[in-house]
Structure 1
Amino acid sequence: MLSTTAQQCPYMPGGDDDGVEAGGGPTLAFERATPYVDYVGVDTLLSLQNTRTDEPAESAFIISTQVMELLFTLVQERWEAARDALETDDVPGAIAWLRRACNAQDVLNASWGLLADMTPTEFNRFRPAFGEASGFQSYGYRKLEFLLGNKSAAMIRPHKAMGGVVTELTRLLEGPSLYDAALRLLFRRGLPVPEDHAERDWTADYEPSPEVERAWTEVYRDDQPGNELFLLAEALLDVAERVTRWRHSHLVAVKRTMGRKPGSGGSNGLNWLARHVEQDVFPELWSLRNTI
Structure 2
Amino acid sequence: MTDAYDPAKDGAQMSFDGRMSYTDYLGLDAVLDAQHPLSSAHDELLFIVQHQTSELWMRLALHELHAARATLSGAEIRPAFKMLARVSRIFEQLNSAWDVLRTMTPSDYTTFRETLGQSSGFQSAQYREIEFLLGNRNSAMVKPHAHRPDLMGRLEAEMEKPSLYDCALMRLAQVVAVPEDALSRDRTKPHQPDEGVQAAWAEVYRDPSRYWDLYELAEKLVDLEDYFRRWRFNHVTTVERVIGLKRGTGGTGGVSYLKRMLEVELFPDLWHLRTKL
TM range (shorter): over 0.9
What does 1:92-103 align with in structure 2 at a 5 Å threshold? 92-103=78-89
Instruction: Give the residue type in structure 1 aligned to 2:241.
Output: R
Following superposition, the deviation at residue 270 of structure 1 comes to: 0.6
TM-score (norm 1): 0.90
Deviations 1:88-144 (A, max 9, x none): 242212212211222222212222122021100101111111011110000010000
Q: Is the contact made by 2:193 and 2:272 (CA closer than 8 Å) also made in structure 1?
A: no
Matched with 1:10 is none
Which range moves more in the overlay, 204-213 or 222-231?
222-231
Following superposition, the deviation at residue 194 of structure 1 comes to: 1.1
Identity %: 38
Deviations 1:19-48 (A, max 9, x none): 52x4x1322123268621111011111111
Matched with 1:220 is 205
May I ask how many residue pairs the two structures share in their alignment?
A: 277
Q: Is the contact made by 1:76 and 1:144 (CA closer than 8 Å) also made in structure 2?
A: yes
Q: Is the contact made by 1:187 and 1:195 (CA closer than 8 Å) also made in structure 2?
A: no
Following superposition, the deviation at residue 286 of structure 1 comes to: 0.8
Quote the Cα distance in structure 2 between the aligned partners of 1:206 and 1:216: 15
Matched with 1:255 is 240
Q: CA 1:226–1:201 in 2, change beyond 3 Å: closer, same or farther?
A: closer
Q: CA 1:2–1:31 in 2, change beyond 3 Å: closer, same or farther?
A: farther
What does 1:55-74 align with in structure 2 at a 5 Å threshold? 55-74=41-60
Higher relative contact order (CA 8 A, sep 6+): 2
Quote the Cα distance in structure 2 between the aligned partners of 1:226 and 1:156: 38
SS at structure 2 position matched to 1:100: helix
Following superposition, the deviation at residue 193 of structure 1 comes to: 1.6
Matched with 1:160 is 146
Matched with 1:275 is 260
Pick from 10, 17, 21 the counterpart of residue 31 of structure 1. 17
What does 1:136-151 align with in structure 2 at a 5 Å threshold? 136-151=122-137
Quote the Cα distance in structure 2 between the aligned partners of 1:2 and 1:116: 46
- Find the structure with the greater CA-based Rg: 1
Following superposition, the deviation at residue 205 of structure 1 comes to: 2.1
Q: Is the contact made by 2:191 and 2:266 (CA closer than 8 Å) also made in structure 1?
A: no
TM-score (norm 2): 0.94
Q: Tell me, which stretches of 5 or more residues in structure 1 are unaligned?
A: 7-14
Deviations 1:164-212 (A, max 9, x none): 21221122111011111111111122x2321121123211222221111
Following superposition, the deviation at residue 52 of structure 1 comes to: 1.0
Q: Is the contact made by 1:72 and 1:140 (CA closer than 8 Å) also made in structure 2?
A: yes
Quote the Cα distance in structure 2 between the aligned partners of 1:271 and 1:136: 13
